[in-house]
Structure 1
Amino acid sequence: MIDTQENYVVVAKHLRQIFPAAVKKSPDICALQDLNIAIKAGQLTALVGPDGAGKTTFLRLIAGLYQPSAGSLEVLGIDVAKHPQQIQDRISYMPQRFGLYEDLSIQENLNLYADLHGVPKKERKERFARLLAITDLTQFTARPAGKLSGGMKQKLGLACTLVRSPELLLLDEPSVGVDPLSRRDLWQIIQQLVAEENLSVIISTAYMDEAERCAEVYVMYEGQILTQGNPEALSEQVRGLTWQAKPPKDMKARLLQSHLLDLPAYITDAVPKGDVVRFITTAQYPQLAPEHLPAQTQVEARPPELEDAFMLFLHQAQRKANSESMISNGDVDPLIQASSLADPANAQPIIAVKDLVRKFGDFTAVASTSFDVQRGEIFGLLGPNGAGKTTTFRMLCGLLPASSGTLEVAGVNLRYARAEARRKIGYVSQKFALYSNLTVLDNLKFFGGAYGLSGKKLSLQIEKALHQFELNPHAKSGDLPNGFKQRLSMAAALLHQPEIVFLDEPTSGIDPLARRAFWYTIGELANHGMTIIITTHFMEEAEYCDRIAIQDAGKVLALGTPKQVRLQAGLEQAHDMNSAFIAIVEQARRH
């Protein structure tokens, strides 16, 4: 039992939260089970864990939006079950999808939320000025919220959350879907509030570098706390198990990653980072023998990080469920086979872009962009919110015509034969774009038919997709966790065995373990000769790419391998792509 003390903002004892099943005769959903936790005041506290771990449910309980099913929960010394309104009067809560009124200006949104929270008129001028200053929105107060970039919307959402001065701030993944510059700005605001106002903040996050900034980290899994502690103490639990390997001269890092992940008795996790592969060994076999590695592979120890500890904890928790990987090694053939794709030895680029321009009236979204993509390459298109990368992406997919320039995809000129080119590509959008009210199987049947598949071929491809992506055919698509929604989107996009697949921020909003599995799938597809074009705001994911382009204001600022891009920014360290991205964009904006 945890003793309630004045320096705790949240105290939970044997807390349980059960939701009735959506389908009759199905078991109820236990979102939280026997949760005991005490969160200290005046500090940043992080909740991390995979999709379905219970993070959002716990935050909503703290906010007084749910009644606990069992156990007790006190927030600021108040019993949530008895006095939820008293708690709501003293805290601020920013959910994942914060409700801005897009037709109202920034100032009108602030006024509206101040009215809703009963902020006295005499306090508003000073409070608004401070919030606009720290969010860098002062000069945009007349702009409609709907015209803001994703990063600016998040900052406005935070400002609206803070129109009154709360005793406790709850943030549910506030930086999902925003670029590294906006994410940096958001965290500067949060840390400034903690330091200057002694504010207590509880944040759920999918970014381990964000959790590292917090005083205390709680790792959640299936409604329980796996472990807790400060980032340094948690990292120490994997000391002696963290390594990095430099592959032989002619081997790509992702191929070495695949080799390592095929050694589950010895390897807990492996991820490419620039020219090396960072990996975690198992406690039973902490050091790899030379015969387990390709010849001339160079291995050295590296200091442990919070992300290493997080991956170890989750893999240990999931080992019984045998779900370390999205790819199954069963008897069914993979959905995509090398023989189904065009000859990867073909030296011609599969995508050729030259002097590409797209204008919307007087506004130039993409300005004279040029680059090539080779067959079997993973090509990353990166940039801050509003940089023009989504417009570029839509033109590459044949969804939007170019204003001028040339664009060839799979040997087809997109300016004259977009429909023909679309038959050779698959597309996974940033937001779940399948039919939420249909089952997994019905979605696959519909999209397979839309791609021209039918009969035995459609049935066979669906069978492969269900097996490869470990999908339940009878599950309702809209009820799937985010990670499984992305698996379904990918499965639907690959049914017709395209030559190229376009992925628009496919890992936004899914947890680190699901992101690992997703990228393992992407790497395997590229190894089989498929070309991958991807946008992402996770800069560590840029390290998976063979080459990347950084775009801003419609122009390409940098193009090359991750190492070449880091060198352009004057940063050579493999782990510092985030800093390289920020440096390149800020240098361009200064000029």
Structure 2
Amino acid sequence: MMKVDKSKILIQAEKLGKEFRSPKGQLLACALQDVDIILRSGEMTALIGPDGAGKTTFMRLVAGLLTPDHGSLKVLGGEITGREQEVQALISYMPQKFGLYEDLTVAENLDLYADLHGVTGEMRSRRFPELLAMTGLAPFQERLAGRLSGGMKQKLGLACTLVRSPEILLLDEPTVGVDPLSRRELWRILKQLSEKESLSVLVSTAYMDEAELCHNVYVLNRGRVLAAGTPQNLSQQAAGRCYFLPGSQDTVTRIVQGQLLDDTEHVIDAVPAAGGVRFIASDGATAEYFAAAYGQSVRKMEARLEDAFMLLLHQDRQETLPRLHTGRKWQEQLSLSGQVDIEVKELVRQFGDFTAVDKTSFQVHRGEVFGLLGPNGAGKTTTFRMLCGLLSLTNGFLSVAGVNLRTARTRARGNIGYVAQKFSLYGDLTVKENLSFFGGVYGLDKGRLGLRMEEVLTEFGLAGYENMAAKDLPGGYEQRLAMAAALLHEPQILFLDEPTSGIDPLARRSFWQKIAELSLQGKTIVITTHFMEEAEYCDRFMIQDQGRLIAIGTPAEIRQRYGDEDMSMNEIFIRIVEREREHHGH
């Protein structure tokens, strides 16, 4: 292993500022304000913060793709301004939407990026086998990039970024939309590169557990650095304020969470975890208070980076998450409705010789929040698209809202709202124009549409944004608009395809509060997600892998069957999938 001078500074920002202005010079956004950030040689440094915090802007400044407006930014020994091409020849940058060529094979993509970077034949013969072995892509060199799973695409993107050995690797949310097994594999590769090649990495991420793997972390919000330090030091900011309130076998934890969040005087943040609710207490709130208020003792928890992150945002923004006012006592138990909204029996979907979904059977009940989970390529998206009526089934039986989808797909859609994985609204249209368009698609008459538009604008906190183009909405608001559009025609069933992919923990919490509210109104919700902790919000969830259903049940049942009380749902998910693959010899 080569020796690296850990004191050597590769990136140094001092009082850095970046503004975005209209062609007429009007200030549109102050993306960065007086930012101080340092990256040292051989270290992995993470940037975390809500959408719009300035993480991507900082990366693009370091990559020489934007020019600073204020302050100083030194990269590899000198100011970036005027040295952009020199710096770009020495760094590698993997943006959120990395440009793989889907009609080229894995090997052809590597060759193309090697050509672009002037990597010689001798260097290729040495570098390519290393990268292919490290990413596990060696057996797939002749496969088209477009035929790879999401996790494999990300690993190929990383390999293409590393066809040369850079001085600095910049990664902008490299694991968005990637399942836990692929995420773990990608970070294993990064740790290996950091330790064996002493690669210096700057990464932005929406996953706090990923940031905890780095040497240093910077917390950004509204273009400013709120805090910086090691993950351990930052976590201490929430020390002594983290608690766990146990649930029971039949408790719906999102309702418990809602009750805690209603307690604004004593609770800052609360999330379902391990069959109960983990929460951050306000300054001065005691364990005795919670025992008296909730009829059950709480236990103290060790602070995590995510706790400190939420506390810092709360202190900076001086605002709280949307609160549910359900009128329920937290101990109240909810049971599944006797009415079945979705019936699936022996469902099969084949693409030529390939079986994407193999004899899957389950039910979803009215008012239930039902999760579809699985690794990339497991068949869950195919299952999801069949449930929505977007894809025909090859065999089996599928009924949605009482309608047989084999014979009456169009009729079923009137009872379905759908939010696609990728933002599917029209970016150049305003919020109001998008709602008007989708209301027309759903066949709402003018009077009904006007009334429903007013209702959803209020319900989703979009009032005041009516005339803003969808593409200019603040972080998290795109999802709100997509949900509002999907619910205009008041469907009974709402399908959500990875709606929280790529959004920060704060926006995810707001989103799930809305889901809890809709569930209490009796809406049936089917959701796919790669954030395994979000399975805790579901009444029940199923896990698929390689086309087969391998586990189904409530979070408590899954934990009891496959894990233990100290394991995260992420760890339980990985255990279930790995055991299944071992059993089937994969």
In the alignment, structure 1 residue 19 sits paired with structure 2 residue 11: no
Conserved 8 A contact 1:47-1:202: yes
Which residue of structure 2 lines up, in the alignment, with residue 324 of structure 1?
A: 321
- Residue 344 of structure 2 aligns to which amino acid in structure 1? V
Conserved 8 A contact 2:259-2:324: no
Which residue of structure 2 lines up, in the alignment, with residue 93 of structure 1?
A: 93
In the alignment, structure 1 residue 373 sits paired with structure 2 residue 364: yes
Matches within 5 A, 1:173-572: 173-247=173-247, 251-287=251-287, 289-290=289-290, 293-294=293-294, 296-319=295-318, 322=319, 324-325=321-322, 347-471=338-462, 472-569=465-562, 571-572=563-564
- Residue 45 of structure 1 aligns to which amino acid in structure 2? T
The alignment partner of 2:480 has SS state of helix
2:292 & 2:492 partners in 1: Cα distance? 33
Which region of structure 1 is more displaced relative to structure 2, 190-199 or 117-126?
Answer: 117-126
Q: CA deviation at 1:246?
A: 2.0
Q: CA deviation at 1:26?
A: 5.3
1:232 & 1:464 partners in 2: Cα distance? 45
Which residue of structure 2 lines up, in the alignment, with residue 68 of structure 1?
A: 68
The alignment partner of 1:289 has SS state of helix
Conserved 8 A contact 2:262-2:324: no
Structure 1 residues 129 and 381, CA gap change in structure 2 (3 angstroms): same
- Residue 484 of structure 1 aligns to which amino acid in structure 2? Y
Which residue of structure 1 lines up, in the alignment, with residue 169 of structure 2?
A: 169
Structure 1 residues 46 and 26, CA gap change in structure 2 (3 angstroms): same
The alignment partner of 1:98 has SS state of coil
1:522 & 1:268 partners in 2: Cα distance? 20
Q: CA deviation at 1:374?
A: 1.3
- Residue 500 of structure 1 aligns to which amino acid in structure 2? I
2:566 & 2:429 partners in 1: Cα distance? 43
Q: CA deviation at 1:244?
A: 0.9
Q: CA deviation at 1:456?
A: 3.4
- Residue 8 of structure 2 aligns to which amino acid in structure 1? N
Q: CA deviation at 1:437?
A: 1.3
- Residue 454 of structure 2 aligns to which amino acid in structure 1? E
Match of 1:578 among 562, 565, 570: 570
In the alignment, structure 1 residue 9 sits paired with structure 2 residue 10: yes
Conserved 8 A contact 1:563-1:574: no
- Residue 9 of structure 1 aligns to which amino acid in structure 2? L
CA deviations 1:193-234 (Å, max 9, x no partner) are: 000011110100000000111111100001110001111111
Conserved 8 A contact 2:342-2:363: yes
Conserved 8 A contact 1:328-1:467: no
2:352 & 2:479 partners in 1: Cα distance? 34
Structure 1 residues 68 and 288, CA gap change in structure 2 (3 angstroms): farther
Identity of aligned residues (%): 56
1:113 & 1:208 partners in 2: Cα distance? 31
CA deviations 1:533-576 (Å, max 9, x no partner) are: 0001111111111111110111101111123223433x213542
Q: CA deviation at 1:82?
A: 2.1
Structure 1 residues 125 and 459, CA gap change in structure 2 (3 angstroms): same
- Residue 538 of structure 2 aligns to which amino acid in structure 1? C
Structure 1 residues 250 and 561, CA gap change in structure 2 (3 angstroms): closer
Which region of structure 1 is more displaced relative to structure 2, 184-193 or 269-278?
Answer: 269-278
The alignment partner of 1:308 has SS state of helix
Which residue of structure 2 lines up, in the alignment, with residue 340 of structure 1?
A: none
CA deviations 1:256-287 (Å, max 9, x no partner) are: 11111112221110111132011111124355
Segments of 5+ residues of structure 2 without an aligned counterpart are 1-5, 327-334
TM-score, normalising length from structure 2? Answer: 0.93
Conserved 8 A contact 2:171-2:204: yes
The alignment partner of 1:533 has SS state of strand
Structure 1 residues 291 and 165, CA gap change in structure 2 (3 angstroms): closer
CA deviations 1:2-53 (Å, max 9, x no partner) are: xxx961111111111111137x685331111111222222111000000000
Conserved 8 A contact 2:416-2:494: yes
Which region of structure 1 is more displaced relative to structure 2, 161-170 or 271-280?
Answer: 271-280
- Residue 413 of structure 2 aligns to which amino acid in structure 1? R
CA deviations 1:48-72 (Å, max 9, x no partner) are: 0000000000001111111111111
- Residue 67 of structure 2 aligns to which amino acid in structure 1? Q
- Residue 309 of structure 1 aligns to which amino acid in structure 2? A
CA deviations 1:55-113 (Å, max 9, x no partner) are: 00000111111111111100111210121111111111100000011111111111111
Q: CA deviation at 1:251?
A: 3.9
Match of 1:588 among 555, 580, 583: 580
Q: CA RMSD in A?
A: 1.9
2:252 & 2:7 partners in 1: Cα distance? 55
Q: CA deviation at 1:398?
A: 1.1
The alignment partner of 1:398 has SS state of coil
1:551 & 1:481 partners in 2: Cα distance? 34
Conserved 8 A contact 1:379-1:533: yes
2:25 & 2:199 partners in 1: Cα distance? 45
Which residue of structure 2 lines up, in the alignment, with residue 116 of structure 1?
A: 116
The alignment partner of 1:60 has SS state of helix
Conserved 8 A contact 1:106-1:144: yes
Q: CA deviation at 1:450?
A: 1.9
Which region of structure 1 is more displaced relative to structure 2, 62-71 or 500-509?
Answer: 62-71
Q: CA deviation at 1:367?
A: 0.6
Q: CA deviation at 1:249?
A: 6.9
Which residue of structure 2 lines up, in the alignment, with residue 107 of structure 1?
A: 107
CA deviations 1:486-536 (Å, max 9, x no partner) are: 111011111122111000000001111101111111111112211110001
Conserved 8 A contact 1:377-1:531: yes
Which residue of structure 2 lines up, in the alignment, with residue 127 of structure 1?
A: 127
Conserved 8 A contact 1:273-1:574: no
2:173 & 2:292 partners in 1: Cα distance? 39
The alignment partner of 1:557 has SS state of strand
Q: CA deviation at 1:247?
A: 4.0
Conserved 8 A contact 1:243-1:279: yes
- Residue 191 of structure 2 aligns to which amino acid in structure 1? Q
Structure 1 residues 248 and 105, CA gap change in structure 2 (3 angstroms): closer
Conserved 8 A contact 2:47-2:202: yes
2:7 & 2:237 partners in 1: Cα distance? 31
Q: CA deviation at 1:293?
A: 3.3
CA deviations 1:126-163 (Å, max 9, x no partner) are: 10000000000001111111111111100000000000
CA deviations 1:459-480 (Å, max 9, x no partner) are: 2221121122222101101222
